[in-house]
Structure 1
């Protein structure tokens, strides 16, 4: 699950929605799964991954396997620094907002096409979930894709 910058102290709504998507995206018949939370301390002194883990373990009651990547400061970092955790995975889901997922998937395809072959879509089957945020997500997502393509390296 890819993090989004948090103000100090608490998990923001964007990350709470991403956690819900990630939980829903686990394969129901998988023998095991690992939730990887990726995000460094971008807008706070506490890494996004740590705030997300506390929310998963607390209010969401998740008790399964969990790993944290706490150094990333961009989407490209999220993907690059997550690669060691993805080695050997049968199924990889990059849970985020739809356009952010596309950007992260493209980073993974360019960096590790062998791992990208295991990409599966996140579960976004909640039509009205966060409907009030979708216009802003679309604008931010399109701008992120535009910048990534403009820079050529997909760094954004």
Structure 2
């Protein structure tokens, strides 16, 4: 059994914004080779920007626009990356493989947080398909700078 955890991004509008839509697509391409069978997709994120929870908006996009009909769970109360991880732990404790999907630096931060909170689960983390060469080219330098800034509290040995 596998879990694909898709982390949300601040979303004040009534539908998934461009970043959350991209994260959902990256989550869908991260599914095991047998598709959705044997995989649970977990969307994580509260109503940070006002309105609906990020998790709900991403789930709606996955179902209505991408036709996802597999096992889907929502964690819709978290406000930070640390909370995302804390709140998804009960949903991933019984799986063999865990994929965390977000922009690469954010996913790295989330994996480090999982390692801090539950090293036993961190040992089950495998790479998600959340990086493709050429994606986000126009804003890649800004994303890289922001990613480095957000990783300032992550130790060198946690950068895996």
TM-score relative to the length of structure 2 = 0.87
Which residue number in structure 2 is paired with residue 143 of structure 1?
149
Gaps of 5+ in 1: 151-156
Show the 5 A alignment for 1:1-156: 1-29=6-34, 31-124=37-130, 126-146=132-152, 148-149=153-154
Which residue number in structure 2 is paired with residue 153 of structure 1?
none
Q: What is the alpha-carbon distance in structure 1 between the residues aligned to residue 93 and residue 130 of structure 2?
A: 25
Q: 1:129 Cα shift?
A: 2.2
TM-score relative to the length of structure 1 = 0.90
Q: 1:117 Cα shift?
A: 0.6
Q: 1:125 Cα shift?
A: 5.3
* CA RMSD in angstroms, aligned pairs only: 1.6
Q: What is the alpha-carbon distance in structure 2 between the residues aligned to residue 75 and residue 61 of structure 1?
A: 27
Gaps of 5+ in 2: 1-5, 156-160
- Could you list the structure 1 runs, at least 4 aligned residues long, displaced by more than 4 angstroms after superposition: none
More strand by percentage: 2
Matched residues, number: 149
